[in-house]
Structures are given as C-alpha cells and as structure tokens.
Structure 1
C-alpha cells in the first residue's frame, strides 16, 4: 500500500486539474517569479512527465537527454517569445502537450526514442514560448529565465527519481498514472 501513495497522489493532482494555467499576468521580473512559474498544473505535469518518460524509455546516461532537450527547447522558445514570436493558440497547445506527454508515458517503451525526443522538444518550445511571450517590454528576462529553468530541472529530477518505484508497481498503476496525466491535459484544454 505504501508503494501506491506516490502514484495515487500524482494521479489525484492530475485529475484535480483546476483552471491552473500558468500564464495569467503574474510577476515576470524576478528569479523568485521564475522559480514559482512552473508550479502551475500544466507545467508541473508536463515537466514531471518528461522525467518519468525519460526514465522509462531511455537507458543509463541517456535518461538525461529528455530533460536536457526539453530545457534547451524551453529556453529557445522563451527567447523567441520574448522577441515577439508567438501565436494565439499557445495555451491550448500547452494543454495538448500535457495530453501527448501522458500518452507518451502510457507507450513509453513502444514509442521510438527519436519520436519521443521530438515530442519532448516540441512541448518544451511551446512552454518556453509562453514564458517569453508573457514578459513585459522592460521585464527582467535573465533572472526570470534562470528561475524557470531551475524549477524545470527540479521537476524533471522528481520524475526521474520517482520512475523506478512507479515502474516497479503493477502495470495498471502506470497506466492509471499515464491516463491521469492525459486526462488532466484534456481538462486543461476545456478551460482555455
């Protein structure tokens, strides 16, 4: 029973997807704001899911490839967003990325690694685009970016660390967790 607690808590958080979109006119001028930003449900689920997928689908040191690629794409997207690149559908696209990442978890060992890494990069760039696009013209990009990159790395590490225990549980638990993440993305899509 103790082994089900982490999976149950994560699934409960995924299913409780309230209107928690992280791009709603918050402070973007400080390191602290950047650290807090990825704690919105859409970002939290996506970033932990990247760590979980990487641990489930990749071997050895390659497990860091998913988080590293996500963070590089996140930063690239943020720079593009800060430069004025963006599109009106970024919020629905971010919610859709949560759905895709949940499905990636469900099929982690069957999805070809290059395809999975491509999807991780796309998700990272979408999340980054939203980060950059929300900056005011005089915003403090460097501190904010450092904060959201540090928080992202921490959330990826949570996923990487939790994966071995979750993968050791019965397959039905992994499927429930994956489905919970995908369902949370669907619920987020209905709120944008």
Structure 2
C-alpha cells in the first residue's frame, strides 16, 4: 500500500467516524435481551469498546491482548451493579464522552508506551463509568436479560477491535501505526464533539 493510499484511507475512516457522531446513546428501551444488545451501539460506547480491543493488541501484545477486554467486562459489570443500586457520579454523560477522548489518546501513543498496569487501569475506569450508565438505565427488576445483552454486545465489539488491529498489522504493515494514530485522533475529535453537544 502506498503512502498516498494509506493517507486517503485514514482520512476516510476519520471522516466516517466523525460523521457518525450524532448522539451518545441510541434512545432504545432497557427491558429485554435485544435492547441490551443494542445499547452499546451508542457512539460513546461503540468507540470506547472498539478502542479497547485495538489498544489491547498494540499496547499489551498478542499474547496478553485478552486482558484488556477481560478487565473492561469485569469493571463494566461492577459499574452496572453500582448504577443499579443508585450510585451515580455527577456529570456522568460528560465523563463518558471524556472516555472516548482518553481512549483516542491511548491509541495515538507509540506501541507499548503506557505501562500495562496503567493502561489496564484506564480501561477499567472507563468501563466502570460505562457500567454505571448501563445500570442506571436498567429496570429495577428483571434486568438480567438486558445485562446479558449489553455484556455480550460489548464482548463482540472488543473482538471487533482486536480483529481490526490484526488487519492493520497484517494488511497495512508499516502504515498500521499511522492509521491507528488517525483513528485515535478521530476518536478524540468525536469525544470533544460529544462534550460540546452536552455543553450546548
């Protein structure tokens, strides 16, 4: 792949990501498995979960890449349980938007620039916030199907991020780092956009 083509593809991905930035959440219900499956498709959730898979591969290496999604899922469930009990942080929507910015910045770092423990800690903190949002929106009773849905959907998105990372490594070779930086910058811009929408 030529440098010009790599730049064109990177710009296209960035524009598509920003064009999708409309709402942080999809506005669906919270009472069924199907609704739980759809919930992580809100922009902030979607970008963060894909980014966790991407960062885990680049930041932890192929042998440890499973740790990022595993930490995220565990913290997500913990956060959902806290949210279900009514524990909420002020300005949670703004904090969720900032997690998009944070994960974008993590993607822009050189390979393994962050110590693994720090990177996983940041992943866990993002997951805890997203879990609180899920739990706060869940019904007070019979929320098991909804919870199973968003956990399964989250896991699939993590796998998608890992798969995208492998495609970048194998298909774009020397240009994969540049593409990932562009993706990180686009995520950061999307996070700023979401913060701006909340402030408007």
How high is the TM-score relative to the length of structure 1?
A: 0.90
Query: Unaligned 5+ residue runs, structure 2?
Result: none
Question: In the alignment, which of 119, 122, 128 is matched to residue 119 of structure 1?
Answer: 122
Contact 1:96 1:186 in 2 (8 A): yes
Question: In the alignment, which of 61, 69, 72 is matched to residue 71 of structure 2?
Answer: 69
Q: Which residue number in structure 2 is paired with residue 191 of structure 1?
A: 197
3-state SS of the aligned residue for 2:73?
Answer: helix
Query: Unaligned 5+ residue runs, structure 1?
Result: none
Contact 2:26 2:41 in 1 (8 A): no
- Which is greater in Rg? 2
Deviation at 1:17, TM superposition (A): 4.5
Q: Return 162-171 or 150-159, whichever deviates more.
A: 162-171
Q: CA RMSD in A?
A: 2.1
Q: Which residue number in structure 1 is paired with residue 14 of structure 2?
A: 11
* Cα distance change, pair 59–70 in 1 and its aligned pair in 2 (3 A): same
Q: Distance in 1 between matches of 2:12 and 2:147?
A: 29
- How is 1:1-192 mapped onto 2 (pairs within 5 angstroms)? 10-22=13-25, 24=27, 26-107=28-109, 108-138=111-141, 140-167=142-169, 168=173, 170=175, 171-192=177-198
How high is the TM-score relative to the length of structure 2?
A: 0.87
Structure 1 ranges of 4+ moved more than 3 A: 1-10
